[in-house]
Chains A and B, each alone.
Chain A
């Protein structure tokens, strides 16, 4: 059992071992230690860790993450477009460690809500007063015949950034001029609503530059999509959309129903078989696996939470934030993950100090970079309904449809700034 060691290391870290030793009653000091274990070191998990530490430095925080570094899914489309090095979206945990947060690189195997204990694969356990589960998404592979985790290594979803982003990029680079790329866009709800269309845009940006005879087909499960008019406008301006020579073709209600891994082909809802040069299958989504193992999910596969604290409605003292949570009224995005994490951290800091959590405030801003100098954004401010039933938008909107070139150019610069700032806000400096 590592808890004692953990406490020692922690106290040593903030120079309290000697002090409590002098006081002669360390067990009293220990009894008061508030412990939070965070499962998952993506945007919401890391942001929660940072903000919890800032809110109350006496809280002992342990963040457990399976990977040594995290690749943000946001801005990974730029990697596909050849406009950003993947190292640019890779973040480590030194910034959190510097703040006195304990970071454990391991896989969480169980979370026991009864005795409030998290166990990792090497058998170590971590006790908590409050646990934050930030597992991100997993994929509903069973909805697409012939597609699974193994096939996805070769026919990537790239909807978690990292190795699959690199695979997809390599396939795009290897493709001949005049080739076809198919992006199978997922049904709602999923991580980052405008992202499949930003992906098409970024790939079009690359192909226009390097392989202008190529085509991109978006085989979409949905009849409509996020910021649709804005993407159509951008594609018209940049990629010949709505002309005979359009690089991008969008097919609504033509979602993927099966994949033939050997043939590298897919069948859509219409029964049409597509056999492109590069195939990108983005499956339907649900909460990350650990949320299912612990029993935090509802019938749809997402985690219902109280919207003022993000505490699970299914298990006390466990909070769920980020893409996995059912934050009614808020979409699933990097900014939403960040804003949920801050509300959750403030609530936990209050609860652990026997105070009532304060009223929350939320923001969500999503940028899409459609072309080199062409960005659009969706932004909104939210509050919580008094009856706490839903998160309510109080202001916001999209880039105006008559925005000038200069405005679109600035949105790209703000998108790049956003990446720098939201990641510093999550992973520290």
Chain B
């Protein structure tokens, strides 16, 4: 009995070792049968809402809202994940499942969904005016209307989830995420002059309470 048990345990370890050296999914490309194509925009986009919320409106706390986004920005982000330029935990694994044409369809779909600001975020009242000033100085040119513009083809900052803004900034600062030259420069100057407290004020400004009509 006991001996038997050890032999089984060894066999088990061996099989486990073999298993672990296989790719997570055994399917390779040659095995892929012809697939149904011509998937509609809503069918594609609906697959996102499990993580990003109904219609792309995230209930947080970390996954960003993707509704109301500029289609140009959406495409840029998705292609960034695909190329690996844009770091992610999970998006790279998912985005490879969509063609560029499908990404475009999803971009159009989400751009037509209303952006609804994150609800109930904590924001330090004293930091908001400081953040506002910093925003004007460092960010407003490309994220206009106080970080609410879609026309800039950049990310909507005001009303976005704080945790997402924090991780994005963390990645920019560490250099893992590559910003445009201009943005990189602005971040460097901001961090040099105002440090982490400046960044905190900036993010608290984006998480500030908004007039009722902009909330969900």
Binding site for B on A (CB under 8 A): 51, 223-224, 228-229, 252-253, 270-271, 308, 335, 338-339, 342-343, 346, 358-363, 365, 377-390, 392-399, 403, 407, 410-411, 413-414, 416-418, 420-422, 424-425, 428-429
Contact = CB atoms under 8 A, between A and B. Distances in A.
Contacts of B167: 410
Interface residues of B, number: 50
Nearest to A423: B59
B162 to A, nearest CB: 11
A421 B52 contact: yes
A414 B63 CA distance: 6
A394 B97 contact: yes
B39 A377 contact: no
Contacts of A339: 47, 50
B46 interface: yes
Given A363-B48, A417-B59, A394 B1 contact: no
B122 interface: no
B101 interface: no
Contacts of B39: 358-361, 383
Contacts of A358: 38-40, 43
A410 B89 contact: yes
A355 to B, nearest CB: 12
B8 A365 contact: no
A396 B93 contact: yes
A421 B35 contact: no
Contact of B61 (A223, A383, A394, A416): A416
B36 A360 contact: yes
Contacts of A379: 90, 93-94
B189 interface: no
24 contacts: A339-B50, A343-B43, A359-B36, A360-B36, A377-B89, A377-B90, A380-B25, A380-B93, A381-B94, A383-B35, A383-B37, A394-B32, A395-B94, A403-B89, A410-B89, A410-B167, A414-B62, A417-B59, A417-B61, A418-B51, A420-B53, A421-B53, A421-B54, A424-B53
A353 to B, nearest CB: 14
A236 to B, nearest CB: 14
B163 interface: yes
Chain B contact residues: over half helix, strand or loop, or mixed? loop
Dominant secondary structure at the A interface: mixed
Contacts of A429: 54, 216
Contact of A253 (B1, B12, B58): B12
Contact of B94 (A363, A384, A420): A363
B96 interface: yes
Contacts of A383: 35-37, 39
B180 interface: no
B50 A413 contact: no
Nearest to A415: B62
A418 B37 CA distance: 28
Nearest to B95: A395
A380 B26 CA distance: 13
Nearest to B56: A421
A407 to B, nearest CB: 5
B34 A224 contact: no
A417 B58 contact: yes
Interface stretch (B15-23, B72-80, B126-134, B144-152): B15-23
Contacts of A389: 33
Given A399-B89, A410-B167, A361 B33 contact: no
Given A387-B33, A396-B97, A414 B25 contact: no
A410 B50 contact: no
B27 interface: yes
A78 to B, nearest CB: 15
Q: Which 8 A-B pairs have the closest CB atoms?
A: A381-B97, A395-B97, A413-B62, A417-B63, A395-B96, A363-B47, A359-B36, A420-B59
